[in-house]
Amino acid sequence: MAAIYSLYVINKSGGLIFYKDYGSAGRMDTNDSLRMASLWHSMHAISQQLSPISGCSGIELLQADTFDLHCFQSLTGTKFFVVCDPGTQHMEGLLKHIYELYTDYVLKNPFYEMEMPIRCELFDIKLSQAIQKDSVALLSR
Amino acid sequence: MQFFGSSEISPSPPAPTASGNNAHMMYVFNRNGVCLLYREWNRPLRTLDAQQDQKLMFGLLFSLKSLTAKMDPTTAEKGNLGVPQLPGQGCSFHSFRTNTYKLSFMETPSGIKLILVTHPRTGDLREPLKYIYNLYVEYVAKNPLYTPGTPIKCELFNTSLDQYVRSIA
Protein backbone atom coordinates (compact mmCIF):
# COMPACT_ATOMS: atom_id res chain seq x y z
CA MET A 1 0.00 0.00 0.00
CA ALA A 2 2.11 2.80 -1.26
CA ALA A 3 0.42 6.16 -1.30
CA ILE A 4 3.47 7.86 -2.79
CA TYR A 5 5.25 6.09 -5.62
CA SER A 6 8.16 8.37 -6.41
CA LEU A 7 9.63 11.82 -5.97
CA TYR A 8 11.58 13.87 -8.52
CA VAL A 9 13.42 17.17 -8.21
CA ILE A 10 14.43 18.97 -11.42
CA ASN A 11 16.62 22.03 -11.68
CA LYS A 12 15.68 25.12 -13.64
CA SER A 13 17.11 23.78 -16.90
CA GLY A 14 15.28 20.46 -16.77
CA GLY A 15 18.02 18.25 -15.40
CA LEU A 16 17.12 15.64 -12.83
CA ILE A 17 18.91 16.39 -9.57
CA PHE A 18 17.07 14.02 -7.25
CA TYR A 19 14.99 10.90 -7.76
CA LYS A 20 13.64 8.48 -5.22
CA ASP A 21 11.35 5.53 -5.75
CA TYR A 22 9.01 4.31 -3.00
CA GLY A 23 7.85 1.05 -4.53
CA SER A 24 6.40 1.46 -7.99
CA ALA A 25 6.16 -1.66 -10.13
CA GLY A 26 8.91 -2.00 -12.72
CA ARG A 27 11.61 0.33 -11.51
CA MET A 28 12.81 2.96 -13.90
CA ASP A 29 16.49 2.97 -14.75
CA THR A 30 18.64 6.09 -14.54
CA ASN A 31 18.36 6.98 -18.22
CA ASP A 32 14.59 6.70 -18.16
CA SER A 33 14.24 8.84 -15.06
CA LEU A 34 16.42 11.53 -16.65
CA ARG A 35 14.29 11.43 -19.79
CA MET A 36 11.08 11.63 -17.78
CA ALA A 37 12.39 14.65 -15.91
CA SER A 38 13.31 16.61 -19.00
CA LEU A 39 10.07 15.57 -20.71
CA TRP A 40 8.10 16.87 -17.75
CA HIS A 41 10.10 20.09 -17.81
CA SER A 42 9.10 20.70 -21.44
CA MET A 43 5.46 19.74 -20.94
CA HIS A 44 5.31 22.13 -18.02
CA ALA A 45 6.63 24.93 -20.21
CA ILE A 46 4.31 24.15 -23.13
CA SER A 47 1.27 24.11 -20.86
CA GLN A 48 2.04 27.73 -19.99
CA GLN A 49 2.06 28.72 -23.66
CA LEU A 50 -1.34 27.16 -24.27
CA SER A 51 -3.08 28.97 -21.43
CA PRO A 52 -6.17 30.97 -22.45
CA ILE A 53 -5.50 33.44 -19.61
CA SER A 54 -2.25 35.24 -18.83
CA GLY A 55 -0.26 34.42 -15.71
CA CYS A 56 -0.13 30.66 -16.09
CA SER A 57 2.58 28.97 -14.08
CA GLY A 58 2.41 25.45 -15.49
CA ILE A 59 0.80 22.13 -14.59
CA GLU A 60 0.07 21.63 -10.90
CA LEU A 61 -1.80 18.34 -11.08
CA LEU A 62 -1.91 15.68 -13.75
CA GLN A 63 -4.58 13.02 -13.30
CA ALA A 64 -3.73 9.81 -15.12
CA ASP A 65 -5.68 6.56 -15.13
CA THR A 66 -3.56 4.90 -12.43
CA PHE A 67 -1.81 7.76 -10.65
CA ASP A 68 -1.83 11.47 -9.84
CA LEU A 69 1.19 13.68 -10.40
CA HIS A 70 1.48 16.77 -8.22
CA CYS A 71 4.04 19.37 -9.18
CA PHE A 72 5.35 22.37 -7.27
CA GLN A 73 7.61 24.94 -8.86
CA SER A 74 9.68 27.20 -6.64
CA LEU A 75 10.31 30.85 -7.51
CA THR A 76 13.79 29.99 -8.76
CA GLY A 77 12.46 27.40 -11.22
CA THR A 78 13.29 24.22 -9.34
CA LYS A 79 10.44 21.75 -9.76
CA PHE A 80 9.40 19.11 -7.24
CA PHE A 81 6.91 16.46 -8.24
CA VAL A 82 5.45 13.38 -6.61
CA VAL A 83 3.65 10.46 -8.22
CA CYS A 84 0.95 9.11 -5.92
CA ASP A 85 -2.25 7.09 -5.86
CA PRO A 86 -5.24 8.73 -7.58
CA GLY A 87 -7.09 11.03 -5.21
CA THR A 88 -4.34 11.31 -2.58
CA GLN A 89 -4.93 14.48 -0.61
CA HIS A 90 -2.63 17.08 0.95
CA MET A 91 0.17 16.66 -1.58
CA GLU A 92 0.67 20.43 -1.94
CA GLY A 93 1.51 20.57 1.75
CA LEU A 94 3.96 17.70 1.44
CA LEU A 95 5.65 19.32 -1.56
CA LYS A 96 6.01 22.60 0.31
CA HIS A 97 7.51 20.71 3.22
CA ILE A 98 9.96 18.96 0.88
CA TYR A 99 10.88 22.36 -0.52
CA GLU A 100 11.59 23.57 3.01
CA LEU A 101 13.82 20.55 3.60
CA TYR A 102 15.57 21.31 0.31
CA THR A 103 16.30 24.90 1.29
CA ASP A 104 17.47 23.89 4.77
CA TYR A 105 19.53 20.81 4.05
CA VAL A 106 20.62 21.23 0.45
CA LEU A 107 20.90 24.93 -0.31
CA LYS A 108 22.46 25.72 3.07
CA ASN A 109 24.96 22.90 2.67
CA PRO A 110 28.29 24.58 1.85
CA PHE A 111 29.45 21.56 -0.14
CA TYR A 112 26.44 21.56 -2.43
CA GLU A 113 26.99 22.96 -5.91
CA MET A 114 23.95 24.66 -7.40
CA GLU A 115 22.02 22.75 -10.12
CA MET A 116 24.01 19.57 -9.46
CA PRO A 117 22.61 16.21 -8.30
CA ILE A 118 21.70 16.24 -4.61
CA ARG A 119 23.91 14.09 -2.42
CA CYS A 120 23.17 15.26 1.10
CA GLU A 121 22.75 12.68 3.82
CA LEU A 122 20.70 14.90 6.11
CA PHE A 123 18.29 15.70 3.30
CA ASP A 124 17.81 11.98 2.64
CA ILE A 125 17.13 11.27 6.30
CA LYS A 126 14.68 14.15 6.78
CA LEU A 127 12.96 13.33 3.53
CA SER A 128 12.32 9.70 4.38
CA GLN A 129 11.00 10.84 7.76
CA ALA A 130 8.62 13.29 6.10
CA ILE A 131 7.36 10.70 3.61
CA GLN A 132 6.97 8.10 6.33
CA LYS A 133 5.06 10.53 8.53
CA ASP A 134 2.85 11.36 5.60
CA SER A 135 2.04 7.73 4.83
CA VAL A 136 1.37 7.05 8.53
CA ALA A 137 -0.97 10.02 8.56
CA LEU A 138 -2.64 8.64 5.46
CA LEU A 139 -3.12 5.22 7.03
CA SER A 140 -4.70 6.68 10.16
CA ARG A 141 -7.16 8.71 8.09
CA MET B 1 -28.95 17.36 -39.80
CA GLN B 2 -30.69 14.20 -38.74
CA PHE B 3 -31.37 11.77 -41.51
CA PHE B 4 -32.43 8.75 -39.55
CA GLY B 5 -35.77 9.64 -38.05
CA SER B 6 -35.89 10.85 -34.51
CA SER B 7 -33.01 8.81 -33.10
CA GLU B 8 -32.45 9.82 -29.51
CA ILE B 9 -28.97 10.59 -28.34
CA SER B 10 -28.05 8.17 -25.63
CA PRO B 11 -27.18 8.36 -22.82
CA SER B 12 -29.15 11.39 -21.77
CA PRO B 13 -27.03 14.42 -20.95
CA PRO B 14 -25.46 14.29 -17.48
CA ALA B 15 -26.96 16.71 -15.00
CA PRO B 16 -25.56 20.25 -15.18
CA THR B 17 -22.72 20.69 -12.71
CA ALA B 18 -22.19 24.41 -13.08
CA SER B 19 -23.87 27.40 -14.59
CA GLY B 20 -22.13 30.29 -16.25
CA ASN B 21 -19.47 30.69 -18.85
CA ASN B 22 -16.39 28.90 -17.56
CA ALA B 23 -15.44 27.04 -20.71
CA HIS B 24 -12.54 28.50 -22.67
CA MET B 25 -12.11 26.34 -25.74
CA MET B 26 -12.54 22.93 -27.25
CA TYR B 27 -10.37 20.96 -29.67
CA VAL B 28 -11.17 17.79 -31.60
CA PHE B 29 -8.31 15.91 -33.25
CA ASN B 30 -8.42 12.73 -35.29
CA ARG B 31 -5.86 9.98 -34.97
CA ASN B 32 -3.54 11.60 -37.50
CA GLY B 33 -3.34 14.83 -35.54
CA VAL B 34 -5.59 16.80 -37.89
CA CYS B 35 -7.60 19.37 -35.99
CA LEU B 36 -11.21 18.63 -36.94
CA LEU B 37 -12.71 21.29 -34.76
CA TYR B 38 -11.53 24.25 -32.80
CA ARG B 39 -14.09 26.19 -30.88
CA GLU B 40 -13.48 29.14 -28.65
CA TRP B 41 -15.79 30.74 -26.13
CA ASN B 42 -13.60 32.86 -23.92
CA ARG B 43 -9.94 33.32 -24.68
CA PRO B 44 -8.35 36.63 -23.76
CA LEU B 45 -4.78 35.47 -24.38
CA ARG B 46 -3.42 34.23 -27.70
CA THR B 47 0.29 33.62 -27.95
CA LEU B 48 0.37 31.79 -31.28
CA ASP B 49 -1.59 31.73 -34.51
CA ALA B 50 -4.39 29.18 -34.74
CA GLN B 51 -2.51 26.49 -36.64
CA GLN B 52 0.59 26.62 -34.46
CA ASP B 53 -1.59 26.56 -31.38
CA GLN B 54 -3.38 23.41 -32.55
CA LYS B 55 -0.13 21.69 -33.42
CA LEU B 56 1.34 22.55 -30.04
CA MET B 57 -1.76 21.24 -28.28
CA PHE B 58 -1.60 17.93 -30.15
CA GLY B 59 2.10 17.66 -29.41
CA LEU B 60 1.52 18.31 -25.72
CA LEU B 61 -1.15 15.60 -25.50
CA PHE B 62 0.94 13.11 -27.45
CA SER B 63 3.97 13.63 -25.24
CA LEU B 64 1.98 13.67 -22.00
CA LYS B 65 0.47 10.36 -23.03
CA SER B 66 3.85 8.78 -23.58
CA LEU B 67 4.96 10.24 -20.24
CA THR B 68 2.02 8.74 -18.34
CA ALA B 69 2.42 5.41 -20.15
CA LYS B 70 6.03 5.23 -19.05
CA MET B 71 5.44 6.54 -15.54
CA ASP B 72 2.53 4.20 -14.69
CA PRO B 73 3.59 2.84 -11.27
CA THR B 74 1.19 -0.12 -11.27
CA THR B 75 2.54 -2.21 -14.15
CA ALA B 76 6.04 -3.53 -14.64
CA GLU B 77 5.90 -3.98 -18.42
CA LYS B 78 5.79 -0.54 -19.96
CA GLY B 79 8.08 -0.60 -22.95
CA ASN B 80 10.32 2.29 -23.89
CA LEU B 81 9.56 5.95 -23.53
CA GLY B 82 8.13 7.50 -26.68
CA VAL B 83 7.15 4.32 -28.52
CA PRO B 84 3.82 5.13 -30.21
CA GLN B 85 0.85 3.35 -28.68
CA LEU B 86 -2.59 2.56 -30.00
CA PRO B 87 -5.60 4.30 -28.43
CA GLY B 88 -6.49 2.52 -25.21
CA GLN B 89 -3.06 0.96 -24.88
CA GLY B 90 -0.94 1.93 -21.88
CA CYS B 91 -1.78 4.31 -19.08
CA SER B 92 -3.38 7.51 -20.34
CA PHE B 93 -4.59 10.61 -18.50
CA HIS B 94 -7.95 12.34 -18.25
CA SER B 95 -7.13 15.83 -17.06
CA PHE B 96 -4.50 18.24 -15.88
CA ARG B 97 -4.80 21.48 -14.00
CA THR B 98 -2.71 24.64 -13.88
CA ASN B 99 -3.43 27.79 -11.91
CA THR B 100 -5.31 29.37 -14.84
CA TYR B 101 -7.09 26.50 -16.58
CA LYS B 102 -8.05 22.85 -16.48
CA LEU B 103 -7.74 20.63 -19.52
CA SER B 104 -9.90 17.53 -19.79
CA PHE B 105 -9.01 14.92 -22.35
CA MET B 106 -10.71 11.89 -23.80
CA GLU B 107 -9.56 9.52 -26.51
CA THR B 108 -11.95 7.17 -28.27
CA PRO B 109 -10.95 3.73 -29.59
CA SER B 110 -10.88 5.17 -33.11
CA GLY B 111 -8.32 7.74 -32.03
CA ILE B 112 -10.57 10.79 -31.91
CA LYS B 113 -9.26 13.12 -29.20
CA LEU B 114 -11.65 15.46 -27.45
CA ILE B 115 -10.13 18.29 -25.43
CA LEU B 116 -12.07 20.72 -23.31
CA VAL B 117 -10.34 23.64 -21.58
CA THR B 118 -12.25 25.11 -18.66
CA HIS B 119 -11.90 27.06 -15.44
CA PRO B 120 -9.39 25.39 -13.05
CA ARG B 121 -12.05 24.63 -10.46
CA THR B 122 -14.32 22.66 -12.77
CA GLY B 123 -15.09 19.15 -11.54
CA ASP B 124 -14.59 15.83 -13.28
CA LEU B 125 -15.57 16.18 -16.95
CA ARG B 126 -15.19 12.57 -18.09
CA GLU B 127 -18.93 11.99 -18.41
CA PRO B 128 -19.60 15.30 -20.18
CA LEU B 129 -16.85 14.47 -22.68
CA LYS B 130 -18.49 11.12 -23.37
CA TYR B 131 -21.70 12.97 -24.04
CA ILE B 132 -19.92 15.35 -26.41
CA TYR B 133 -18.57 12.29 -28.22
CA ASN B 134 -22.15 11.11 -28.55
CA LEU B 135 -23.02 14.44 -30.14
CA TYR B 136 -20.10 13.93 -32.51
CA VAL B 137 -21.33 10.47 -33.47
CA GLU B 138 -24.89 11.63 -33.99
CA TYR B 139 -24.30 14.86 -35.84
CA VAL B 140 -20.93 14.41 -37.53
CA ALA B 141 -20.12 10.73 -38.03
CA LYS B 142 -23.69 9.96 -39.13
CA ASN B 143 -23.83 12.94 -41.46
CA PRO B 144 -23.60 11.60 -45.03
CA LEU B 145 -22.17 14.89 -46.28
CA TYR B 146 -19.23 14.72 -43.89
CA THR B 147 -15.94 13.33 -45.20
CA PRO B 148 -13.89 11.76 -42.39
CA GLY B 149 -10.65 13.59 -41.69
CA THR B 150 -11.88 17.00 -42.82
CA PRO B 151 -12.73 19.94 -40.55
CA ILE B 152 -16.20 19.72 -39.06
CA LYS B 153 -18.58 22.23 -40.60
CA CYS B 154 -21.83 20.96 -39.19
CA GLU B 155 -24.05 23.65 -37.80
CA LEU B 156 -26.23 21.35 -35.79
CA PHE B 157 -23.20 19.91 -34.02
CA ASN B 158 -21.81 23.35 -33.26
CA THR B 159 -25.05 24.70 -31.84
CA SER B 160 -25.73 21.65 -29.70
CA LEU B 161 -22.12 21.69 -28.52
CA ASP B 162 -22.34 25.37 -27.58
CA GLN B 163 -25.57 24.79 -25.77
CA TYR B 164 -24.30 21.76 -23.90
CA VAL B 165 -20.96 23.26 -22.90
CA ARG B 166 -22.74 26.32 -21.57
CA SER B 167 -24.82 24.04 -19.35
CA ILE B 168 -21.86 22.18 -17.84
CA ALA B 169 -19.18 24.81 -17.34
Mean pLDDT, residues A121-125:
95
**pLDDT on residue B4:** 42
Closest to B88 measured CA to CA, from A61, A40, A65: A65
Dihedral over alpha carbons A55, A57, A58, A62 (to 10 degrees): -100
Q: What's the pLDDT tens digit per position in A47-105?
A: 999 999 999 999 999 999 999 999 999 999 999 999 999 998 889 999 999 999 999 99
- What class does CATH assign to A4-140? alpha beta
- Residues of B with a Cβ under 8 Å from any A Cβ are 24-25, 42-45, 47-48, 53, 56-57, 59-60, 63-64, 66-68, 70-78, 81, 91-101, 103, 117
CATH value of B23-42+50-71+85-168 in 3.40.50.2020, 3.30.450.70, 3.65.10.10, 3.40.50.2300: 3.30.450.70
pLDDT at B156 > cutoff 90: yes
State pLDDT tens for residues B36-46.
Answer: 999 999 999 98
Question: For residue A105, what is the DSSP state?
Answer: I
**Which has the closest alpha carbon to B25: A112, A50, A117?**
A50
pLDDT at B77: 82
ipTM for the complex? 0.89
Question: What DSSP designation does B61 have?
Answer: H
At residue B21, the pLDDT reads 72
For residue B138, pLDDT beyond 50: yes
| Nearest residue on chain B to A6, alpha-carbon basis | B73
The whole-number average pLDDT for the span B147-154 is 92
Report the gap between the CA of B141 and the closest CA in chain A (Å): 27
Query: B3-11 long-range CB contacts below 8 Å, 24 or more apart?
Result: B3/B142, B3/B143, B3/B144, B4/B142, B7/B138, B9/B134, B9/B135, B9/B138, B10/B134, B11/B131, B11/B134
Which one of A8-12, B43-47, B88-92 scores highest in mean pLDDT? A8-12
- What does the domain layout of chain B look like in residue ranges? 23-42+50-71+85-168
- So what's the pLDDT on residue B89? 86
